[in-house]
């Protein structure tokens, strides 16, 4: 096929996290007979660079973008003077509005052809970068709830102007789209759920893992970055409340990050000796599959892919009401959605664990769970026309 659609995806980095994962999954599933796919990584860093599909043309950003993904406070704490100078220069361009001209200058170095479709894979700076390019169709992917957490709050005027040059906004859930419309006053938008790497999850479930980790009895698991957004301390307090009521069970935490010392302190102070920190796992799915319940305790999310991954792995979910969960938990056998408060999470947690026979029925029911990847892929192909 000769007349392929040329698509450029733009992301700031490829760290282990939601955006990079769903981007890699989308690029892997697009038909290479229909699409010539490129991916520009403004700051080429992160574990998931190695998982970019082999058929994708990778473009590395210029040094100007090397601090695009680094918070100023992190640079100051590390006393990295070279990075500090680079970050301050970038912020100067953003604050003065000169970033538009600088983007045009940097694009000339990076981009040697005109694309049919350019999609900013992470809203914010990538949106601005895409908006001031010359691709035929400019798109913006919205993967977080902006009413709950506005990453662009310091540059609202700049982002609003950039969005006026965007042809289509794609949100990963209805709630996320409505929030984005409200915050930025945009009207052009569609909802398309994230694709899932179903085979990766299923293969992970069936692969070898350390079976001695998961103890006998009722087992609960969470997989997350240890970050304030994920509010894992609320999960620990829910665990304590259930233990205090005599509901014996184990809680496993997979992941790591900045709040780990705080979480470990809560465990120590409350003598929570049935909480197990497992660290990062390349394959969390085998552990999820062996547990009776997965819990997402986040304060905000977009479309939390881990929810559907847990369902694919055959484990029901208890989640706070965030982002797209009402699009994800659509059947009583899939799990529970509770209000986004500590007390509601405690109550839902205790309710779920007080009925182990119900959890068993739910796990049995999830053996027939199917995620609609084919339908979602067709929706992406439609907007890429």
How many of the other CB atoms lie within 10 Å of CB of 242?
A: 22
Q: What is the pTM of this model?
A: 0.86
Residue 210: what pLDDT? 65
For residue 2, name the pLDDT band (cuts at 50, 70, 90): low
DSSP state at residue 367:
G
Residue 144: what pLDDT? 87
pLDDT in tens, 103-162: 999 999 999 999 999 999 998 899 999 999 999 999 999 998 898 888 888 889 999 999
Cα–Cα distance for residue pair 285/288, rounded to 1 Å: 5
Cα 143 to Cα 125, 185, 318, distances in angstroms: 14, 17, 21
The full DSSP string for 149-197 is --TTGGGHHHHHHHHTT-SEEEESSHHHHHHHHHHH----EEE-PPP--
| pLDDT of 28 above 90 | yes
Cα–Cα distance for residue pair 163/281, rounded to 1 Å: 38
| pLDDT of 329 above 60 | yes
List the structure tokens of 160. Answer: 């609003």
CB-hemisphere CA count at 13 Å for 361?
Answer: 8
Residue 58: what pLDDT? 97
Nearest to 322 by CA among 138, 97, 67, 143: 143
Structural domains of the chain, ranges and CATH numbers in brackets = 5-191 (3.40.50.2000), 198-368 (3.40.50.2000)
Sheet of 35-41: strands edge to edge? 57-60, 35-41, 5-11, 117-120, 137-142, 168-171, 189-191
For residue 226, name the pLDDT band (cuts at 50, 70, 90): very high
Cα–Cα distance for residue pair 20/249, rounded to 1 Å: 34
pLDDT in tens, 188-202: 899 999 999 999 999
């Amino acid at each position: 096929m000769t007349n392929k659609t040329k698509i450029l995806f733009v992301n700031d980095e490829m760290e282990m996290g939601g955006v990079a994962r769903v981007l890699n999954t989308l690029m892997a599933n697009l038909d290479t007979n229909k699409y010539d796919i490129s991916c520009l990584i403004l700051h080429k860093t992160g574990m998931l660079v190695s998982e970019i599909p082999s058929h994708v043309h990778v473009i590395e950003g210029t040094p100007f973008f090397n601090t695009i993904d680094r918070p100023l406070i992190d640079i100051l704490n590390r006393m990295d003077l070279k990075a500090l100078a680079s970050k301050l220069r970038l912020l100067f361009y953003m604050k003065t509005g000169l970033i538009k001209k600088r983007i045009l200058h940097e694009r000339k170095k990076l981009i040697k052809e005109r694309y049919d479709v350019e999609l900013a894979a992470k809203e914010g700076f990538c949106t601005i970068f895409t908006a001031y390019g010359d691709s035929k169709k400019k798109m913006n992917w919205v993967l977080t709830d902006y009413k709950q957490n506005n990453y662009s709050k310091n540059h609202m005027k700049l982002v609003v102007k950039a969005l006026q040059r965007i042809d289509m906004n794609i949100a990963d859930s209805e709630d996320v789209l409505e929030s984005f419309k409200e915050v930025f006053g945009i009207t052009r938008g569609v909802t398309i759920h994230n694709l899932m790497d179903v085979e990766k999850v299923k293969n992970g479930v069936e692969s070898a893992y350390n079976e001695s980790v998961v103890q006998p009895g009722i087992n609960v698991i969470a997989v997350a970055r240890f970050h304030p957004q994920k509010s894992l301390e609320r999960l620990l307090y829910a665990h304590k409340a259930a233990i205090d009521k005599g509901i014996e069970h184990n809680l496993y935490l997979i992941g790591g990050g900045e709040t780990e010392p705080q979480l470990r302190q809560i465990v120590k102070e409350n003598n929570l000796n049935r909480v197990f920190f497992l660290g990062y796992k390349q394959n969390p799915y085998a552990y999820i599959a062996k547990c009776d319940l997965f819990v997402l305790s986040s304060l905000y999310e977009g479309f939390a892919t881990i929810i559907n991954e847990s369902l694919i792995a055959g484990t029901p979910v208890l989640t706070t009401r965030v982002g797209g969960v009402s699009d994800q938990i659509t059947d009583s056998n899939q799990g529970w959605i509770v209000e986004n408060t500590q007390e509601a999470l405690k109550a839902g947690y205790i309710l779920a664990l007080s009925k182990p026979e119900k959890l068993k029925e739910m796990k049995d029911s999830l053996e027939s769970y199917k995620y609609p990847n084919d339908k979602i892929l067709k929706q992406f192909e439609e907007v890429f026309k």
